[in-house]
Amino acid sequence: MDPSQPGEPGWRGEGGGGREGPPAFREGHVVTVFRSRLRPDAEPAYGDVAAEMLAAARAVPGFVDFAQFTGEDGERVSVVTFDSWTSHLAWRDDPRHREAQRRGRAEFYTRYSVQVGEVGTAHSWSLP
């Protein structure tokens, strides 16, 4: 396992925080939680598409952070944060993202769920 690679357990996209500390999350940010399970034959195409989508998301003005975690049972949880609904909707409606979603249903996932919400309260702490 290589946590520096998309799709590997513990992998974090490059956002506001990275590994050196939590991103500067704030009230009003929009957070998407994407839970999924991959098909056994999803790789290597899935990894290629995931890397392309992270690069595209990072290019959206208002991108804050991306993190992905994989449970021991294979469930994957991706969390992406944008600074506003405008930024989130720009990402949601991006034609490349829509095509990746279509491919996800056709080629990569056995199931997924999406939850989107606005941050009402945000706190963080780091060891000095």
CATH assignment at residue 78: 3.30.70.100
Give the tens place of pLDDT for each residue, 89-121.
999 999 999 999 999 999 999 999 999 999 999
Task: Show the domain range for 102.
Answer: 35-117
- Is residue 94 one of the residues assigned to a domain? yes
- Is residue 11 one of the residues assigned to a domain? no
- Is residue 113 one of the residues assigned to a domain? yes
Distant-in-sequence, close-in-space partners of 83: CB < 8 Å, separation ≥ 6 = 26, 28, 29, 30, 62, 63, 64
- Is residue 103 one of the residues assigned to a domain? yes
Residue 6 has pLDDT above 60, yes or no: no
Amino acid type, 62: G
Closest C-alpha among 127, 128, 126, 124 to residue 24 = 124
The structural domain count of the chain equals 1
Give the tens place of pLDDT for each residue, 16-51.
444 455 678 999 999 999 999 999 999 999 999 999
